[in-house]
Amino acid sequence: MSEKIAVHWFRQDLRIKDNPSLEAASKCDSFIPIYILDDTNSGEFKMGSASRWWLYHSLNKLNESLGGSLRLFKGDPCEILPKLIEDYSVSNVFWNRCYEPWRIDRDKKIKNELETNNIIVESFCGSLLWEPWNISKDDGTPYRVFTPYYKKGCLNASEPRLPISEPSFENISKKDNVSDNLESLDLLPKSNWYAGFEEEWNPGEKGAEQNLEEFLEHGLLNYKEGRNFPSQKFVSRLSPHLHFGEISPNEVWYRAKTKETIPGIDKSLAHFHSELGWREFSYYLLYHFPDFPSVNFQKKFDSFPWKENKDLLKLWQSGKTGYPIVDAGMRELWQTGYMHNRLRMIVGSFLVKNLLIHWLEGEKWFWDCLVDADLASNSAGWQWVAGSGADAAPYFRIFNPITQGLKFDPDGEYTKKYVPELKNLPNKYLFSPWEAPKEILESSGIELGVDYPEPIVDLKISRELALEAFATTKKEVNE
């Protein structure tokens, strides 16, 4: 009997533990672990700069875990895989499924071609709790609203599978390691604007485990309320680890569940699980509605009179809007590759409702700047805040950056961290510095328009304009 040689194709599952495809490959006589950077088929969804920084470090950590045996390639998997299979007499190819439309199309093409050539191809669920095609309404159609999707669909379906243990690597192929090296993937951006990322993040499986453990010990108990306050450490910060698959959602789901006996934790635990459910819902929408990243889910927004204003967009991107809580969020994004979820809602609302700039512009900026940039979650988040998405906030719900700052950063700790030019301003005026008396500004070392910008729009007027714009849209109803 000939030797059974397998390929495990790492994609968005850059981990050893709880990796169904890797486990299957490890049961063959020998297996070759590979990663292919595919900038060919991704088109407009080519990985952004911050994500590429993360991927560089994650692949480095993964290779260490594999004893230096990870083969790296850059190019079209449709060409790379058949050559690899021929060179190494591979009989089986394994991977964990991805759900972006371009990846689904590519993977179907690869699978059909390989099976035609008598290669066994198996794929697994390694990044979701529930497969999108297994959850549907009673009439078989997909859900369009989160609450029934999660409570009636997911929670009444089979429980997520239990995590599996780390496989053995004794049979990793020892044949010549023909591959590109990490540097040749050209992942690190030319400009070292990501210098601050390394102080904030530890990419890789161990970093994911550390974040989870820290959250379960110190954040989960107060998660439901505490998650709204950006200066407090009550969020998990697991989103980039989950996106790159450095930890599985199954591991996170069940590890959190082990805390259910702690007194008073029930509401926060349920809320954290539901947030994992939101992640699932984003992928569910992307799977069932493949144009979700670029097309309004609610068609009435197709006639919305968005404005093009590159100057205002640039001020928003650079955190110079004159609204401190908005600027703090945008500067956190630039400096750390991340933004607290409360701030994502605030800055998103400001862009699409106070500036009337299309949500796609915000989505593109986040795509390039976020280490957790994720096609499903990014699209769902921006459509939600714009009012055009599934389960979206009503369009007339316009976040007021002054009241949001006062409510969720009352001591100004977060805002002053990222907008240090206002650090001496009394909290009473921190979120509306233009209202501060001249002597207060002077004693705080601030000259508006010089040390910190004047507001780029008037909140009241821009709100009225947004509501007028919304009133012009066609009141179409999704069927």
- Collect all residues with Cβ–Cβ distance below 8 Å to 83 and sequence separation of at least 6: none
Instruction: State the sign of the Cα–Cα–Cα–Cα dihedral 229, 230, 233, 236.
Output: positive
Residue 341 bears catalytic tag: yes
Catalytic residue among 54, 359, 365, 367: 359
Catalytic residue among 202, 306, 421, 434: 306
Buried residues in 397-417 as b, exposed as e (16+ CB within 10 A): ebbbbbebbbebbeebebbbb
Hey, what are 12's tokens?
Answer: 């968005």
Q: What is the DSSP letter of 448?
A: B
Alpha helices in 136-248 (DSSP H): 146-147, 197-200, 205-218, 223-226, 239-243
Residue 54 bears catalytic tag: no
- To the nearest 10°, report the CA torsion of 304, 305, 309, 310: 40
Residue 359 bears catalytic tag: yes
* C-alpha distances in Å from residue 34, one per residue of 11, 13, 28, 87, 179: 9, 12, 15, 14, 9
Greatest Cα pair distance, the chain, in angstroms, is 88
Q: What is the DSSP letter of 437?
A: -
Residue 278 bears catalytic tag: yes
Q: Which residue has the tokens 């607290």?
A: 340
How far apart, in whole angstroms, are the C-alpha atoms of residue 97 and residue 59? 19
Catalytic residue among 9, 253, 382, 384: 382
Catalytic residue among 113, 122, 166, 275: 275
Buried residues in 91-105 as b, exposed as e (16+ CB within 10 A): bbbbbbbbbbbbbee
Q: Which residue has the tokens 């179409």?
A: 476
Residue 202 bears catalytic tag: no
Burial of 217 (0-12, 13-18, 19+ CB in 10 A): exposed
Catalytic residue among 60, 222, 228, 341: 341
Catalytic residue among 278, 309, 421, 427: 278
How far apart, in whole angstroms, are the C-alpha atoms of residue 90 and residue 199? 42
Residue 193 bears catalytic tag: no
How far apart, in whole angstroms, are the C-alpha atoms of residue 83 and residue 202? 34
- To the nearest 10°, report the CA torsion of 101, 106, 112, 117: -160
93, containing H or E segment: strand 92-96
Hey, what are 272's tokens?
Answer: 């954290």
Other CB atoms closer than 10 Å to residue 220's CB: what's the count? 22
Are 59 and 35 a contacting pair, CB within 8 Å? yes
Q: Which residues belong to the active site?
A: 275, 278, 306, 341, 359, 382
